[in-house]
Structure 1
Amino acid sequence: MAAVRFPGKTVDVAAANWSAPAPPACVNGTRWILYLLEECVDNVWEYCSVVIGLISMFCFLLSTLPQVYEAYRNGKVEKAMSFGFLFFLFSGDLTNFAGCYLTNQLPIQVVTVVFYIFTDLILISQFLYYKIKNSSSRQSPVLKWLCFMWCGAATLVLLALPKLIIDSSPPLDTQSPNTSKVEISGYICGYLASIFYLSSRFPQLYKNFQRQSTEGTSYLLFALAMMGNGTYGLSVIAVLPALRGSKQTFILKHLAWLIGSLGVLILDFFVTAQFIMYRKNSSAKSSTLLPEVEPLLCEEEELTVL
Structure 2
Amino acid sequence: MATARFPGKGVDTTLINLTLPTVSRPVCVNGTPWILYLLEECVDNMWEYCSVVIGLISMFCFLLSTLPQVYEAYRNGKVEEAMSFGFLIFLFGGDLTSFAGCYLTSQLPIQVVTVVFYIFTDLILISQFLYYKIKNSSSRESPMLKWLCLVWCGAASLVLLALPKLIVDNSTTADTTNLSTSRSVEITGYICGYLASVFYLSSRFPQLYKNYQRQSTEGTSYLLFALAMMGNGTYGLSVVVVLPALRGSKQSFIIKHLAWLIGSLGVLILDFLVTVQFVMYRRNQSAKSSKLLSIPEVEPLLCEEVELAVL
TM-score (norm 1): 0.90
Question: 1: CA distance between counterparts of 2:47 and 2:14?
Answer: 18
CA contact (8 A) 2:9 2:260 kept: no
How far apart are 1:16 and its partner, in Å? 3.4
Deviation string, structure 1 residues 228-270 (Cα, Å, up to 9, x no partner): 0000011111111111111111111112211221110010000
CA contact (8 A) 1:10 1:113 kept: no
- Within the candidate set 234, 237, 251, 2:237 is matched to 234
Percent of residue pairs identical? 80
- Structure 2 residue 196 is matched with structure 1 residue 193: yes
How far apart are 1:219 and its partner, in Å? 0.2
Change (3 A) 1:47 1:175: farther
Amino acid at match of 1:16: I
Deviation string, structure 1 residues 191-210 (Cα, Å, up to 9, x no partner): 00000000000000000000
Q: Secondary structure at the match of 1:120?
A: helix
Q: Could you say which residue in structure 1 is the equivalent of 2:266?
A: 263
CA contact (8 A) 1:52 1:234 kept: yes
How far apart are 1:14 and its partner, in Å? 4.8
Q: Could you say which residue in structure 1 is the equivalent of 2:103?
A: 101
Which runs of 5 or more structure 1 residues have no equivalent in the other structure? 299-306
- Structure 2 residue 16 is matched with structure 1 residue 16: yes
How far apart are 1:131 and its partner, in Å? 0.3
Change (3 A) 1:289 1:44: same
Question: 2: CA distance between counterparts of 1:13 and 1:50?
Answer: 13
Q: Could you say which residue in structure 2 is the equivalent of 1:75?
A: 77
Amino acid at match of 1:8: G
Which runs of 5 or more structure 2 residues have no equivalent in the other structure? 302-311
Structure (1 or 2) with the larger CA radius of gyration: 2
- Within the candidate set 128, 131, 142, 1:129 is matched to 131
Q: Could you say which residue in structure 2 is the equivalent of 1:290?
A: 293
Q: Could you say which residue in structure 1 is the equivalent of 2:49?
A: 47
- Structure 2 residue 186 is matched with structure 1 residue 183: yes
Change (3 A) 1:168 1:22: closer
Moved more, 142-151 or 287-296: 287-296
How far apart are 1:294 and its partner, in Å? 6.8
Question: 2: CA distance between counterparts of 1:174 and 1:30?
Answer: 28
Amino acid at match of 1:164: L
How far apart are 1:224 and its partner, in Å? 0.1
Question: 1: CA distance between counterparts of 2:178 and 2:68?
Answer: 45
TM-score (norm 2): 0.88
Change (3 A) 1:146 1:17: closer
How far apart are 1:61 and its partner, in Å? 0.3
Deviation string, structure 1 residues 139-193 (Cα, Å, up to 9, x no partner): 1011011111111111111000000111112456366222111111000000000
Question: 1: CA distance between counterparts of 2:159 and 2:45?
Answer: 40
Moved more, 277-286 or 47-56: 277-286
The CA RMSD measured in Å over matched residues stands at 2.4
CA contact (8 A) 2:11 2:193 kept: no
Question: 1: CA distance between counterparts of 2:32 and 2:283?
Answer: 49
CA contact (8 A) 1:226 1:268 kept: yes
Question: 1: CA distance between counterparts of 2:98 and 2:296?
Answer: 53
Q: How many residues align?
A: 294
Question: 1: CA distance between counterparts of 2:76 and 2:240?
Answer: 40
Q: Could you say which residue in structure 2 is the equivalent of 1:30?
A: 32
Amino acid at match of 1:149: V
Question: 1: CA distance between counterparts of 2:98 and 2:239?
Answer: 18
- Within the candidate set 71, 78, 93, 1:91 is matched to 93
- Within the candidate set 210, 213, 221, 1:210 is matched to 213
Question: 1: CA distance between counterparts of 2:200 and 2:37?
Answer: 31
CA contact (8 A) 1:80 1:216 kept: yes
Question: 2: CA distance between counterparts of 1:153 and 1:238?
Answer: 42
Deviation string, structure 1 residues 49-90 (Cα, Å, up to 9, x no partner): 110000000000000000000000010000000000000000
